[in-house]
């Protein structure tokens, strides 16, 4: 995995919504998530690769990061968000490899792929569970670096998908058991910034402070 900090395609929409006072008003993308995915962040990302869950991390929740303006080159040209995550007293270790900022506090819905995808032409995604995913309407999901748009089968475990959505590249193969993350128009909200980095291993009771910056260029 390479280090990368990316303002995503949806992140630019979040930023313009904040600037223009979009209706309904665009919420501050201050909710920080952490994850254990193994891919490198890309501009097309709609979610983390594998956001931590309460099943893996007792009491895990996205934090409301403290947002401030700071200076990189000219006064107040950088938005900065800081949050601290404290590991539970038991379990682990946890290999944290990614973090992200979202405009919704709820963690993204998550399941796993039940049947491997073996070609870029496959347009059916069979998943272990649809719990937490929308029961109607189109919505984005993420598997590894590929974003897909769910267009049919909502509420079931067999979804019809449009491959290579949101400017991502359709993957030739995706193994079974790959995490499937809910993206745009799911409970996870819009992903503003996605960062990937080398493994930071947390043991019980360890704390991890993360700083994410959006720098004007």
List the Cα angle 48/121/176 in 5-degree steps. 50
> Residue 43 CB: number of other CB atoms within 10 A?
16
Answer yes or no: pTM beyond 0.95.
no
What is the pLDDT, as a whole number, of residue 193? 97
For residue 115, give Cα distances in angstroms to 91, 95, 127, 133, 173.
29, 26, 7, 18, 11
pLDDT tens, the chain, 217 aa long: 668 889 999 999 999 998 887 666 889 999 999 999 999 999 999 999 999 999 999 999 999 998 999 999 999 889 999 999 999 999 999 999 999 999 999 999 999 999 999 999 999 999 999 999 999 999 999 999 999 999 999 999 999 999 999 999 999 999 999 999 999 999 999 999 999 999 999 999 999 999 999 887 6
The C-alpha atoms of residue 195 and residue 77 are separated, in whole angstroms, by 20
**Centroid of chain to Cα 11:** 11
């Amino acid at each position: 995995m390479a280090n990368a900090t990316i303002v995503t395609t949806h992140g630019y929409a979040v930023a313009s919504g904040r600037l223009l006072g979009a209706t309904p008003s665009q919420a501050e993308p201050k909710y920080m998530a952490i994850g254990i995915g193994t891919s490198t962040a890309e501009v097309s990302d709609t979610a983390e690769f594998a956001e931590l869950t309460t099943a893996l991390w007792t009491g895990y929740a996205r934090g409301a990061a403290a947002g401030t303006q700071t200076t990189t080159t000219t006064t107040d040209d950088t938005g900065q968000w800081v949050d601290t995550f404290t590991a539970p007293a038991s379990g682990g270790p946890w290999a944290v490899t990614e973090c992200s900022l979202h405009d919704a506090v709820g963690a993204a819905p998550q399941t796993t792929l039940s049947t491997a995808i073996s070609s870029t032409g496959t347009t059916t995604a069979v998943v272990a569970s649809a719990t937490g995913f929308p029961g109607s309407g189109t919505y984005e999901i993420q598997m590894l670096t590929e974003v897909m748009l769910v267009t049919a089968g909502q509420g079931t475990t067999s979804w019809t998908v449009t491959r290579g959505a949101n400017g991502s590249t359709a993957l030739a193969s995706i193994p079974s058991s790959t995490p499937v993350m809910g993206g745009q128009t799911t409970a996870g909200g819009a992903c503003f910034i996605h960062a990937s980095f080398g493994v930071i291993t947390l043991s019980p009771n360890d704390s991890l402070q993360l700083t994410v910056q959006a720098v004007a260029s």
